[in-house]
């Protein structure tokens, strides 16, 4: 288990009850430590990929799902520490179609409406993995690389969208905000894969980065 402590206590603070097991690190986390860790994860992505500056003007477009509203809230908490950041919010349009079309519509709106602003969409790790699976199964809607979403030709919009929450597993947002995962066969398949082989999503992410890395310097969509 974790350092000899019983798993009903948080592995980090040792004080509060654990509510979530982070399989890839072996930790059991309480709500407070999970939240802190997730916020740190967002800051890490922003700084590693240079997504934002201290005085960025941001257009945050929020897909209509509860998990993305929650992810947007976490992102806003991180940005609240930077008083010179300006943040405009927009709800993504309901375009019909499936889950992935709705995410693409949000990204498309962010990219096309940004003007001089930094377009941001609060996608999760599961969303990045889903777009990856779709890309290699003949439906190249978009691809998340280095903290940004490259839009495929179906978007008919040039450019990339910043993804500060892209390394947060959807399950962690579900636990933090007590929200449901959107109903979608690819998200279900990812969850089944994770249940059958704990840590599978993180392994898929590593495989994905290895496959994508050699192509970073050329356009993903031609
Ligand atoms: Zn804790």
- Tens digit of pLDDT for each residue in 80-110? 999 999 999 999 988 888 999 999 999 999 9
- Span from the CA of 163 to the centroid of ligand 1 (angstroms): 27
CA dihedral 193, 9, 41, 22 (to 10 degrees): -10
Interatomic CA distance for residues 47 and 176, integer angstroms: 23
CB count in 10 Å sphere of residue 188: 12
Q: Do the domain assignments include residue 5?
A: no
Q: Do the domain assignments include residue 85?
A: yes
Prediction pTM value = 0.92
DSSP per residue, 114-127: -TTSEEE----HHH
CA dihedral 113, 118, 122, 127 (to 10 degrees): 80
Q: Do the domain assignments include residue 15?
A: no
- Residue 120's nearest CA partner among 47, 62, 67, 168 is 62
What CATH number should be reported for the domain holding residue 188? Answer: 3.40.50.620
- Span from the CA of 171 to the centroid of ligand 1 (angstroms): 17
pLDDT at 222: 59
Domain extent for 45? 35-215
- Residues of the chain with pLDDT > 70, as a percent, come to 93
CB 153, CB 145: distance < 8 Å = no
Average pLDDT over residues 205-216: 79
Q: Do the domain assignments include residue 23?
A: no
Interatomic CA distance for residues 28 and 71, integer angstroms: 21
Q: Do the domain assignments include residue 221?
A: no
Using pLDDT thresholds of 50, 70 and 90, give the confidence band for residue 216.
low
Using pLDDT thresholds of 50, 70 and 90, give the confidence band for residue 68.
very high
Q: Do the domain assignments include residue 16?
A: no
Enumerate residues with CB within 5 Å of ligand 1 (an ion): 10, 12-13, 16, 30, 33
- Residue 219's nearest CA partner among 155, 166, 161, 153 is 153
- Span from the CA of 147 to the centroid of ligand 1 (angstroms): 28
Q: Do the domain assignments include residue 65?
A: yes
- Span from the CA of 39 to the centroid of ligand 1 (angstroms): 14
Which positions ≥6 away from 45 have C-beta within 8 Å?
51, 147, 163, 164, 165, 166, 167
- Span from the CA of 18 to the centroid of ligand 1 (angstroms): 7
Q: How many CA atoms lie within 13 A of 9 on its CB side?
A: 10
Q: What is the mean pLDDT of the chain?
A: 91
Q: Do the domain assignments include residue 115?
A: yes
**What is the number of domains present in the chain?**
1
- Span from the CA of 95 to the centroid of ligand 1 (angstroms): 40
Residue 67 predicted with pLDDT over 60:
yes
Which positions ≥6 away from 68 have C-beta within 8 Å?
62, 106, 121, 122, 123, 124
- Span from the CA of 92 to the centroid of ligand 1 (angstroms): 35
- Span from the CA of 10 to the centroid of ligand 1 (angstroms): 5
């Amino acid at each position: 288990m974790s350092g000899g402590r019983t798993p009903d206590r948080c592995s980090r603070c040792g004080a509060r009850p654990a509510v979530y097991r982070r399989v890839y690190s072996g930790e059991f986390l309480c709500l407070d430590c999970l939240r802190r860790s997730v916020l740190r994860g967002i800051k890490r992505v922003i700084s590693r990929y240079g997504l934002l500056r201290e005085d960025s003007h941001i257009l945050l477009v929020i897909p209509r799902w509860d998990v993305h509203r929650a992810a947007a809230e976490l992102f806003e908490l991180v940005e609240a520490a930077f008083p010179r950041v300006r943040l405009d919010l927009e709800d993504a349009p309901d375009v019909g179609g499936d889950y992935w079309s709705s995410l693409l519509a949000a990204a498309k709106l962010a990219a096309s409406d940004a003007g001089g602003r930094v377009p941001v969409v609060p996608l999760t790790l599961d969303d990045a993995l889903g777009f990856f699976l779709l890309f290699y199964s003949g439906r190249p809607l978009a691809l998340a690389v280095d903290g940004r979403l490259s839009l495929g030709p179906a978007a008919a919009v040039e450019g990339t969208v910043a993804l500060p929450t892209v390394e947060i597993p959807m399950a962690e947002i579900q636990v933090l905000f007590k929200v449901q995962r959107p109903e979608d066969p690819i998200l279900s398949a990812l969850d089944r894969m994770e249940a059958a082989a704990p840590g599978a999503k993180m392994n898929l992410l590593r495989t994905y980065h290895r496959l994508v890395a050699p192509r970073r310097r050329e356009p993903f969509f031609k």
